[in-house]
Amino acid sequence: MAVTDASQVDVLIIGAGPAGLMLATWLARTGIIFRIVDKKASRINSGQADGLQSRTFEVSRLSDRKSVHATYSFKIFDSLGIGQDIWREANHMLEIRFWNPDKRNLLYRSDSIVDTPPGLSRFQQATLHQTRIEDHLLGYIGRHSPIQVERGVMPESLSIDTENVDEDGAYPVSVTTRHLPNPDREPVSIAGVAKSAVPNGLFRSNLAADTSDTLLQDAKADAKSHTETIHAKYVVGCDGAHSWVRRQIGSVMEGEQTDYIWGVLDIIPITDFRSMMIIPRENKFVRLYIQVTEVDEDRKASKIDRSDISPETLLRAASNILAPYTLSYKHCHWWTAYQIGQRVGSKYSSHERVFLAGDAVHTHSPKAGQGMNISMHDTYNLGWKLASVIQGRADRSLLKTYSTERRQIAQELIEFDQKFSRLFSGRPGTDIMGEEGIDLKTFKQVFEKGNLFSSGLSVDYAPSLIVAKPQPFNGETPLTNGDSKVDHGSVVGKHNLATGIPIGMRIPSHKVLNQADARPWHLQELLPSNGAWRILVFAGDIIDPAQSSRYEALGKALNSPDSFLHRYRPNGESVQPCFEVLTIHSSPRKEVELLSLPDIFHPFSEDLGWDYNKVFVDDLSYHEGHGQAYDNYGIDPRTGCVVVVRPDQYVSWVGELEDVGEMDRFFGSFMRVQA
């Protein structure tokens, strides 16, 4: 038996799926020292080359579990600079068509609705499978850090030194990890796997038993296996539905688990069912979701012999639903089956030192299409907060907002998912909207709610340290700052100054022009995920002398050595900015001279000259129309406003050009004065 090595690291991520990799993007970008381990040794589950032409279908040889189809995820990808690539590769979803049995019980096309309501976002829903999403995230991580995923490594013990959890420099979490000599030897625990040579996800489905303990036993018995003890400041469990980290911190999944079993089949359909597009995917593939369990009259699912589940049984079930149309396929690249349940972990964190994210802390039905998306959004929320605390820029109290914000979203999602799943599961497949079924209006409403989820527009974080809005009038006691010294409840943004920029929600994106070269940019493109807080100065009509003086006075106040901009900004921050001040004015572009504006709004560098990329204008572009940003943001050009935007693009605060003192108090409640 090998010796146990020991080492230190700022963050240890357990699990390299979408949630783990999204967390790694922040840490890589902000220069945090981290490690990321995954018990699987390789990402490709099926190594067999099939007969297909490789160039066209090479994705079909890759493992596939989930697919991204959320516009909000695209906005995050865009802020990482990989949105356009994923968008181009993905299948775009534009229309949903409903098919129902007619009087003679024959299917007919009963209606169609738009998939993403127009105007919600410049990205619409699109599908691309998980492996490719992971590829893009890995590519980003590789461009910003030399750190690589350590595969074939699993944790075997975790302990927290609770006496040290509040000490800044401490490494209070110890995890012993074990290198697996045969990491890809997954026990085949249900019979279906044996029935199909096609790559499938049964072994990691919730129908399969957790194999972690078996794997660990095997490894311990192997002389080649060695262990390492990692002392970490923070540990994040992104280790899926059977989360090992969850068990260590005593978090329990709470909620329902049903008996309904559904199957999933990714095929290129050959059918006379016209324009068959159940869930269209990239490269001509189509995903079918098929209920496998029989349902009796009390709407209770009967038991099914799980060993019967195979692509053939799934195809038979689908064919029954589509009759009299026929369905077959030559290319199936993946399939699985799962049991429906909606549950949320009882806690998201232990001492804000060990965190859970993704499937490790919430599960819901894949049909709502939110699994991978919500998982990535979890760690997109956590990553910048961890980085700020580790860098000594923010107080540890900031970390409490992870659990409150993400637990709220998980709860909202599973409530939606319960409704959504009942639409499909509680009734025979052929009468979803039949005479005794749900009416089309209800059906459409549920779909529209789903669209809001995937667009991210339904996320509205509650008041907190970093969301400066009034407490709701529900009699609850206001949130306090936990371990923080300052009571933040008194800083409240002035929402009426920008009615189109709700505090606690993601900032909407409209087009503005660069003052210097007239190039149009979506505001979103100006907010890359680099860890910076943005101070958006909507300066209004600065041709007006009164407004111009207010703008100049703001510049002077920001420039003062006492302002938050200087107090909390570390020296030598050029690599990883802390604050970025962007101006968006509303005067005609050609009437404003960039270099006549106060220097702080377009800083000068001895090396690089003036910064031409900090001042923008709400004006007509040459080729791409007028963004009407002030109108859309509900800002009066005669007054303007200042908006504080979090590094994850959520809105913290809105105030007047004179409210620098309020901003000082806001940042003072969780940021640390730098030497």
Catalytic residues: 50, 281, 289, 366
Residue number, 274 or 485, with CB nearest to a second copy: 274
State the minimum distance, in angstroms, from the CB of residue 386 to a second copy: 23
Site residues for a second copy, window 493-552 (CB under 8 A)?
516-519
Residue pair 124/116 in contact (Cβ under 8 Å)? The answer is yes
Residue number, 111 or 312, with CB nearest to a second copy: 111
Considering only 17, 269, 366, 369, the residue that binds a second copy (CB under 8 A) is: 269
Considering only 94, 194, 209, 546, the residue that binds a second copy (CB under 8 A) is: 94
Half-sphere exposure of 305 (CA within 13 A, CB side): 4
State the minimum distance, in angstroms, from the CB of residue 103 to a second copy: 21
Contact status: 112 vs a second copy (CB under 8 A): yes
Residue 125's nearest CA partner among 159, 74, 89 is: 74
Contact status: 438 vs a second copy (CB under 8 A): no
Residue pair 375/355 in contact (Cβ under 8 Å)? The answer is no
Residue number, 107 or 553, with CB nearest to a second copy: 107
Query: What is the CA 505 to chain-centroid distance, rounded?
Result: 14
Q: 3-state class of 277 per DSSP?
A: coil
Residue pair 500/51 in contact (Cβ under 8 Å)? The answer is no
Residue number, 82 or 565, with CB nearest to a second copy: 82
Residue pair 372/547 in contact (Cβ under 8 Å)? The answer is no
- Options 354-362, 381-389, 555-563, 615-623: segment touching a second copy (CB under 8 A): 615-623
Residue pair 558/582 in contact (Cβ under 8 Å)? The answer is no
Contact status: 591 vs a second copy (CB under 8 A): no
As a whole number of angstroms, the distance between CA 41 and CA 181 comes to 9
CB-CB neighbours of 621 under 10 Å? 18
Contact status: 116 vs a second copy (CB under 8 A): yes
State the minimum distance, in angstroms, from the CB of residue 377 to a second copy: 23
Contact status: 297 vs a second copy (CB under 8 A): no
| Bond before 324 cis per omega within 30 degrees | yes
Q: 3-state class of 355 per DSSP?
A: strand
Contact status: 608 vs a second copy (CB under 8 A): yes
Contact status: 102 vs a second copy (CB under 8 A): no
Residue number, 474 or 574, with CB nearest to a second copy: 574
Contact status: 347 vs a second copy (CB under 8 A): no
Residue pointed to by tokens 């929600």: 505
As a whole number of angstroms, the distance between CA 460 and CA 666 comes to 19
As a whole number of angstroms, the distance between CA 561 and CA 660 comes to 13
Residue pair 397/670 in contact (Cβ under 8 Å)? The answer is yes
Identity of residue 647: P
Q: 3-state class of 193 per DSSP?
A: helix
Contact status: 274 vs a second copy (CB under 8 A): yes
3-state secondary structure 127-174: EEEHHHHHHHHHHHHHHHCCCCCEECEEEEEEEECHHHCCCCCCCCEE
Considering only 280, 434, 482, 668, the residue that binds a second copy (CB under 8 A) is: 280
Considering only 594, 600, 641, 645, the residue that binds a second copy (CB under 8 A) is: 594
- Options 314-322, 364-372, 546-554, 589-597: segment touching a second copy (CB under 8 A): 589-597
Helix axes 71-79, 371-390, angle to 10 degrees: 30
Contact status: 429 vs a second copy (CB under 8 A): no
State the minimum distance, in angstroms, from the CB of residue 388 to a second copy: 22
Contact status: 118 vs a second copy (CB under 8 A): yes
Considering only 33, 165, 277, 553, the residue that binds a second copy (CB under 8 A) is: 277
Q: How many helices (H) and strands (E) does the chain have?
A: 15, 26
Contact status: 185 vs a second copy (CB under 8 A): no
Residue pair 69/366 in contact (Cβ under 8 Å)? The answer is no
Contact status: 595 vs a second copy (CB under 8 A): yes
- Options 263-271, 290-298, 552-560, 635-643: segment touching a second copy (CB under 8 A): 263-271
State the minimum distance, in angstroms, from the CB of residue 457 to a second copy: 15
Helix axes 660-668, 545-559, angle to 10 degrees: 30
Residue number, 275 or 477, with CB nearest to a second copy: 275
Contact status: 606 vs a second copy (CB under 8 A): yes
Number of residues forming the site for a second copy (CB under 8 A): 39
Contact status: 146 vs a second copy (CB under 8 A): no
State the minimum distance, in angstroms, from the CB of residue 301 to a second copy: 32
Residue pair 28/573 in contact (Cβ under 8 Å)? The answer is no
As a whole number of angstroms, the distance between CA 101 and CA 194 comes to 36
Contact status: 609 vs a second copy (CB under 8 A): yes
Residue number, 5 or 58, with CB nearest to a second copy: 58
Residue number, 126 or 301, with CB nearest to a second copy: 126
Residue number, 99 or 171, with CB nearest to a second copy: 99
Considering only 220, 299, 316, 330, the residue that binds a second copy (CB under 8 A) is: 330
Contact status: 88 vs a second copy (CB under 8 A): yes
As a whole number of angstroms, the distance between CA 440 and CA 175 comes to 52
Contact status: 452 vs a second copy (CB under 8 A): no
- Options 12-20, 276-284, 294-302, 439-447: segment touching a second copy (CB under 8 A): 276-284
Q: Which pair of tokens denotes residue 438?
A: 């749900």
Considering only 146, 305, 622, 673, the residue that binds a second copy (CB under 8 A) is: 622
State the minimum distance, in angstroms, from the CB of residue 338 to a second copy: 27
Residue pair 287/266 in contact (Cβ under 8 Å)? The answer is yes
Residue number, 298 or 593, with CB nearest to a second copy: 593
Considering only 58, 166, 254, 272, the residue that binds a second copy (CB under 8 A) is: 272
Strand runs (DSSP E) across 31-125, as ranges?
Answer: 34-38, 67-68, 91-92, 95-101, 107-114
CB-CB neighbours of 304 under 10 Å? 16
Residue pair 565/520 in contact (Cβ under 8 Å)? The answer is no
Contact status: 58 vs a second copy (CB under 8 A): no
Torsion of CA 128, 131, 137, 142, to 10 degrees: -140
State the minimum distance, in angstroms, from the CB of residue 92 to a second copy: 5
**Which residues of this protein are in contact with a second copy, per CB under 8 A?**
84, 88, 92, 94-95, 112, 114-116, 118, 124, 268-272, 274-275, 277, 280, 284, 330-331, 516-519, 590, 593-595, 606-609, 612, 621-623
